[in-house]
Amino acid sequence: MSRWRRESVLDLYCLMAGLFLFASPWLFAFANESARIDIWTSGALIAATSIIAIAAFSNWGEWLKFLLGSWLVVSPWMLGFVHTKAMHVSIGAGITVAFLAALELWLVNCDPQQATTS
């Protein structure tokens, strides 16, 4: 495992969000089958990508989490589970994951030396 990065805490938060999403179909007893599959699968992918990012960071992992978070925001309309508990969980977790991934990309790619020399 590589040296701990200060941004890795954001990957831990994404991991927790992914595990929450993975368990949410059972926690909230989603009635819609497509919502259950979508949220369960997205949660598993977010959790796996977060574990990979903690072990060996690369920008593609953060971009993948950003895309998965964005997908979770629009998936209730794309898959037809609007106005359900699953929609609220999907949108809330999607915004959280997308924000954390974008924040980590910004922190990693932002050059603090460039900001102080301007």
Confirm whether 32 is domain-assigned.
yes
pLDDT of 4 over the 50 cut: yes
Minimum mean pLDDT range among 8-12, 50-54, 108-112:
108-112
Confirm whether 99 is domain-assigned.
yes
Confirm whether 2 is domain-assigned.
no
Confirm whether 3 is domain-assigned.
no
Domain of 97: which CATH number? 1.20.1270
Confirm whether 57 is domain-assigned.
yes
Query: What pLDDT is attached to residue 112?
Result: 66
Domain count, the chain: 1
Query: What pLDDT is attached to residue 118?
Result: 47
- Domain span at residue 36 reads 8-117
Confirm whether 74 is domain-assigned.
yes
Confirm whether 16 is domain-assigned.
yes
pLDDT of 115 over the 60 cut: no
CA-only gyration radius of the chain, Å: 16
What average pLDDT does this structure show over 78-103? 96
The model carries a pTM of: 0.88
Query: What pLDDT is attached to residue 89?
Result: 97
